Amino acid sequence: MSIRLNQLRTRLLAEQLQLQQQISDFLVAQANPDYQQLLLKLQQLPLPRWPEVLVHWHTPELRAPSQRLEAVQAALIQMEIGLYGICCDCEARIENERLDKDPAEQRCKSCERLSTNKAAHS
């Protein structure tokens, strides 16, 4: 693995832990027993399985970090199987500066522009 890829991987791993902490901290602070149960459930699961449980929760405080967790984990898996840095729409290489900005980036610059336009017009 190249030094650059290794650095991106380190950033993704750190972010993954930080998101895990953020989700746990939120749940610990809630009095609602549903959240306490969710926390217990998560604690028994390996981190890669958290998003599939959290997807059923629409609490904004959980939604954002769990979607981000999913993206970070997808990027880590892509690194493992050698498909990291490939645009999910056109399969071109994603520009290095985009990956430096966000190591979990899934789209190249032109596809990003297309998808943003589409979203703006729909």
Sites of contact with Zn ion (CB under 5 A): 87, 89-90, 92, 108, 111
Q: How far is the CB of 111 from Zn ion (least distance, A)?
A: 3
CA angle 56, 88, 65 (to 5 degrees): 35
| Cβ 109 vs Cβ 98: under 8 Å | yes
Count of CB atoms situated within 10 Å of the CB of 98: 17
| Cβ 30 vs Cβ 42: under 8 Å | no
Q: How far is the CB of 114 from Zn ion (least distance, A)?
A: 8
Nearer to Zn ion, 27 or 75 (CB): 75
Nearer to Zn ion, 61 or 89 (CB): 89
Nearer to Zn ion, 5 or 92 (CB): 92
